[in-house]
Amino acid sequence: MATRTRTELSHWHVQWERRNQFTDAWGKDRPVVVRYEDLAWQTTPSRMREAVYMSQYAGRPTRTLDAVLHEVAPGTTSTTVRHSWDAILFAVEGPGWSEVNGVRYDWQSWDALHIPAWAWHRHGNDGERPVRFLSSSSEPALSALGLGVFEDAGDTPHDRLPPAPRSHGPVEGTDWYSNRINHLAAQQQLRDTARIHTDYHDQPLKVNPKGTRSKFLNDNSIGNYTSGLTQVMLQFAPGYRQSMHRHPGEAWLYVVEGEGHSYLGEEPEGGEIHDWKAGDLVVVDRYLWHQHFNDHPERPARLVRIHAFASLLDTLNAIMAPMPMFEEKLETAPDVSAVTWPDDIRPGTQQ
């Protein structure tokens, strides 16, 4: 007997509606510049004051990175926590200290730290003035995969805390199963010996083809073993710019000092201009062409660029080929051969 075809609620309808709902939600509350003066400071159970630049838990959805400013009051030590994701820290105002897996690291302004996944850690201030640091983590990516885990141990002494989960191995054998175990065991060994603290002056500022001076603060190439999180200090000469480029979001630029503007647009011409100043966070998103400018004719500008390209961009390169994931117009970079760069002196030091 012939039957009449009817359109019913199918997997196609479910997936289409789910994609539309995600796109609609993602398009809301996506700022280009998060202003420092618009931050809402709150004292949290961690015993720190915190203000959120980007987080799904503060009304600004993210899928790759978050960005939170933390303040530790004089004489205060935060609670001890750990989580299944890793994080990178930039010291905005020091001096302060962080304890990672029972080891204390003293830091000054503009230093950087890497907090490995599952590492017990806390932060403290032995001085007489508040100290601040900016954190960015891979929590949004881990949570999107259903792998987000967070623990707060309060003031439990480190020797009483449970150890981090360990990968089994190494083992003998060349089959795929043994190869996987040995590969993960080798990664575990790298994490055990990786760099945690980067003193700002451990790395030199070098002029790059984009027209700025820059240095890594967190990156696998300088001994960190991150989930792809990377952090670079950029210095713009007075009145100069960076070359135009584009890449998939998300990437943050935290304005350390100076004032300027960023161009963002669908095409290399005809985009929008967004001004920024010290303390603001520039949000680079949606595969847009963008370019950053120092608007002051006499003073340099500094921005810390944060992203997770080494993991997520590599994955996108694999699944989106031959579509280019990173495009750079080096012809738009300024000629900096005549620039006399100022001394690289960070706050509170003679260096």
Q: How many Cβ atoms are within 10 Å of 53's Cβ, its own excluded?
A: 26
Mean pLDDT computed over every residue of the chain: 94
The pLDDT assigned to 86 comes to 97
Q: Starting from the edge strand earliest in sequence, which strands make up the sheet with 289-294, in order?
A: 272-277, 259-265, 289-294, 244-246, 327-329
Q: With cut-offs at 50, 70 and 90, classify the pLDDT of residue 28.
A: confident
| Cα separations in angstroms, 332 against 47, 56, 209 | 46, 35, 10
What is the per-residue pLDDT across 105-127, written as a single tens digit (0 to 9) for each? Answer: 999 999 999 999 999 999 999 99
The encoded tokens of residue 269 equal 């011409």
The pLDDT assigned to 85 comes to 98
Q: With cut-offs at 50, 70 and 90, classify the pLDDT of residue 350.
A: low
The encoded tokens of residue 248 equal 């998939």
The pLDDT of residue 158 is above 70: yes
Residue with tokens 């135009």: 244
What is the per-residue pLDDT across 318-338, written as a single tens digit (0 to 9) for each? Answer: 999 999 999 999 999 999 999
The pLDDT of residue 203 is above 70: yes
User: Could you give the CA distance from residue 52 to residue 73 in angstroms, rounded to a whole number?
Assistant: 18
**What domains are defined for the chain?**
30-158 (2.60.120.10), 197-330 (2.60.120.10)
